[in-house]
């Protein structure tokens, strides 16, 4: 099969369409012809040699896909050749074919294209895990979402609204309209505003109940200052750095704060299956009636994968960047 091959760790131009072994489905697996995949920050880190795949996972880039089932393995009775499906992957999305455990598959809603479906799994499952499984979001909660125009950010805004909570976001000013259109109640320009001061004003000094962060060390002290009593920080990445200077644990204790760090890619199969099935039962129907929507910034033919990666690394996108594999 054809797949995106990283010929040398480093810049985007070191990716090319090449040949790779076609994976065959084992017991309880299906082989899917990939029609579309989508970019995630993890792809850019793996390309540079900083984020290797978990043991046993494909070393081909790509953490999500949508496509058509080509073949089912032994023990698969609920899925059939020709079904339109999408799923979270530990790797292997940037390819013509991938294999997926049957319990990680979700049926693509009839109203969505395969390109739209490919923009859902990684970001919506991450946002759902962060808000509900880790954050315990409830109606009336006030929630600060950093990188509000990112894929996870745009998903988190929608899920926060659905929970009856109040989403506030940080984003660069040109991306504020996207966030407000999705339901963000306040947008904060991280380049020109102190978000802790804005949160203090927005909440009458009470702070937010839940905070989702991807930046890490540079935001840590402001994050703690933005929290309400018994608030929770969900740490999903450290894009800005991982070492916090002069941290005083008493700042956390004064807020009775909880700091929860999480990844999704290296979770167990059982965990991912449970998360997928919980999401499919509680959120997926909302894509059928239009309550939720994948937010797509741009779509590239996969022959232009280097251009797509440059767009992400230049922080030009608002929402997901999709790669179309099947023309």
Tokens of 59: 């070393």
Q: What pLDDT shows up at residue 222?
A: 98
pLDDT tens, 153-194? Answer: 999 999 999 999 999 999 999 999 999 999 999 999 999 999
Q: What is the pLDDT of residue 75?
A: 97
Radius of gyration of the chain (CA): 20
State the Cα torsion 133-136-139-144 to the nearest 10°: -100
Tokens 């993890």 belong to 42
Give the percent of the chain with pLDDT over 90: 99
Backbone torsions φ then ψ of 183, nearest 5 degrees: 120, 10
Report pLDDT for 171. Answer: 98
For 159, left (φ over 0), alpha (ψ -120 to 50), or beta? Answer: alpha
Domains assigned to the chain: 2-120+265-324 (3.90.180.10), 123-261 (3.40.50.720)
How far, in Å, CA of 175 to CA of 195, rounded?
16
Q: In whole angstroms, how far apart are CA 124 and each of 48, 89, 118, 130, 309?
A: 25, 13, 11, 10, 20
Over residues 75-132, the pLDDT tens digits come to: 999 999 999 999 999 999 999 999 999 999 999 999 999 999 999 999 999 999 999 9
Note the pLDDT of residue 31.
98
When pLDDT is cut at 50, 70 and 90, the band that residue 53 belongs to is very high
- State the CB neighbour count (10 A cutoff) for residue 227: 27
Report pLDDT for 248.
92
In the chain, % of residues over pLDDT 70? 100
pLDDT surpassing 90 at residue 327: no
* pLDDT tens, position by position, 185-216: 999 999 999 999 999 999 999 999 999 999 99
Phi-psi region of 290 (alpha: psi -120 to 50; beta: other; left: phi over 0): left
Reported in sequence order, the residue ranges of the chain that DSSP labels E, i.e. its strands, are: 2-6, 15-19, 29-38, 64-72, 84-88, 97-101, 106-107, 142-145, 166-171, 186-189, 208-213, 227-235, 258-261, 296-301, 320-324
CB atoms within 10 A of CB 104: 21
Q: What is the pLDDT of residue 251?
A: 95
Residues near 198 by beta carbon (within 8 Å), at least 6 away in sequence? 168, 186, 188
The maximal CA–CA distance of the chain, rounded, in angstroms, is 59
| Cα gap 167→145, rounded to integer Å | 7
pTM (two decimals): 0.97
107 bridge partner residues: 85
SS3 for 258? strand
- Nearest Cα neighbor of 152 from 323, 317, 272 is 317
Confidence bin at 316 (pLDDT 50/70/90):
very high
Structure tokens at 269: 């199969």
Task: Please work out, in degrees rounded to the nearest 5, the angle formed at the alpha carbon of residue 11 by the alpha carbons of 62 and 265.
Answer: 25
pLDDT of residue 100: 98
């Amino acid at each position: 099969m054809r797949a995106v091959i990283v010929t040398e760790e480093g810049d985007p131009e070191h990716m090319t369409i090449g040949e790779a072994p076609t994976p065959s489905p084992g017991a309880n697996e299906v082989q899917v012809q990939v029609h579309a995949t989508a970019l995630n920050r993890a792809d850019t880190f793996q390309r540079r040699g900083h984020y290797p795949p978990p043991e046993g996972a494909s070393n081909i880039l790509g953490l999500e896909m949508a496509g058509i089932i080509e073949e089912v393995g032994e023990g698969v009775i609920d899925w059939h050749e020709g079904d339109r499906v999408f799923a979270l992957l530990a790797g292997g999305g940037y390819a013509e074919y991938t294999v997926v455990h049957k319990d990680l598959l979700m049926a693509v809603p009839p109203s969505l294209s395969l390109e739209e479906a490919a923009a859902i799994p990684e970001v919506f499952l991450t946002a759902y895990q962060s808000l509900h499984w880790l954050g315990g979001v409830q109606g009336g909660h006030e929630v600060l979402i950093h990188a509000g125009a990112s894929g996870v950010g745009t998903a988190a805004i929608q899920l926060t609204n659905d929970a009856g909570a109040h989403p506030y976001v940080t984003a660069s000013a040109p991306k504020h309209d996207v966030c407000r259109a999705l339901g963000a109640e306040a947008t904060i320009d991280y380049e020109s505003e102190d978000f802790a001061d804005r949160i203090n004003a927005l909440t009458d000094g009470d702070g937010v109940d839940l905070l989702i962060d991807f930046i890490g060390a540079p935001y840590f002290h402001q994050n703690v200052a933005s929290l309400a009593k018994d608030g929770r920080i969900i740490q999903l990445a450290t894009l800005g750095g991982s070492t916090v200077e002069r941290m005083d644990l008493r700042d956390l204790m004064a807020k009775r704060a909880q700091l929860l760090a999480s990844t999704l890619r290296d979770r167990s199969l059982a965990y991912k299956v449970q998360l997928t099935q919980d999401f499919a039962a509680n959120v997926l129907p909302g894509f059928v009636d239009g309550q939720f929507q994948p937010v797509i910034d741009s779509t590239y033919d996969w022959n232009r994968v280097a251009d797509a990666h440059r767009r992400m690394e230049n922080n030009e996108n608002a929402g997901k960047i999709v790669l179309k594999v099947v023309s």
